[in-house]
Amino acid sequence: MEDQRYMLDTNTASYIIKGEPKVIREHLRSVPMAKVCISAITEAELLRGVAKKPEAKRLPIAVKEFLLRVEVLPWNSDVAATYTQLRTACENEGKPLGTMDMLIAAHSAAVGAVLITNDKAFYNVKHHLILEDWTKPIEH
C-alpha cells in the first residue's frame, strides 16, 4: 500500500538505536522514512530509558538523533477514543495488554499504521491490529 505508515513500537525503536539486529535496518531501508513514525508514548519510553541510565554517555545522543529523524505522532482525542474501544474489546476477550503497550497499540490502530513489533503481547490481539515483525528476514 503506497500510503501505508509504519509505527515502530518501543522495542523496535530501541533495536534501531542500538543497530541490532541488522535485519531491522534492511526493513527500514525498504520503506521511505517519511512513512515511519513512533507514538509520543514510545518517545516517552525512550526518554525514560535514557533517564534510567545516566552513566550511558552515548545513549542520550543516539536517542536524540533517532528522534530528530523519525516523526513522533502526538496523542490526541481520536487516539483516546480508539484506546477506549481497543482496551474494552481486549479486556472482554480476556486478552489485555500492559498499559504502555495498549496505548501504543491504540495509537497505531487510530492512525491506521502497521505496528512494527516483535513483542508477543501484541500478537495476542492481532485481529485488532496490523502487525509486522522486522526482526525476521525480508521475504523476497
- The mean pLDDT of 21-25, rounded to a whole number, is 92
| 73-93 confidence digits (pLDDT tens) | 999 999 999 999 999 999 999
**Number of Cα atoms under 13 Å in the Cβ half of residue 38:** 25
pLDDT attached to residue 41: 98
pLDDT attached to residue 130: 95
Pull the grid cell for residue 120: 508477543
- The mean pLDDT of 31-51, rounded to a whole number, is 96
Amino acid at 81: A
C-beta separation of 105 from 115 below 8 A:
yes
pLDDT attached to residue 2: 60
User: What is the C-alpha separation between 22 and 96, in angstroms, rounded?
Assistant: 31
Residue-range domains of the chain with CATH: 6-132 (3.40.50.1010)
Angstrom CA distances, 31 to 2, 9, 23, 61, 75, stand at 10, 16, 13, 24, 24
Percent of the chain whose pLDDT exceeds 70: 98
According to DSSP, the residues that pair with 115 across neighbouring strands are 7, 131
Q: Provide the 10 A C-beta neighbour count for residue 23.
A: 15
pLDDT attached to residue 85: 94
pLDDT attached to residue 138: 84
Average pLDDT, the chain: 93
Largest Cα–Cα distance of the chain, in whole Å?
44
pTM of the model: 0.93
pLDDT at residue 125 tops 90: no
Instruction: Name the nearest CA neighbour of 44 among 23, 15, 21, 13.
Output: 13
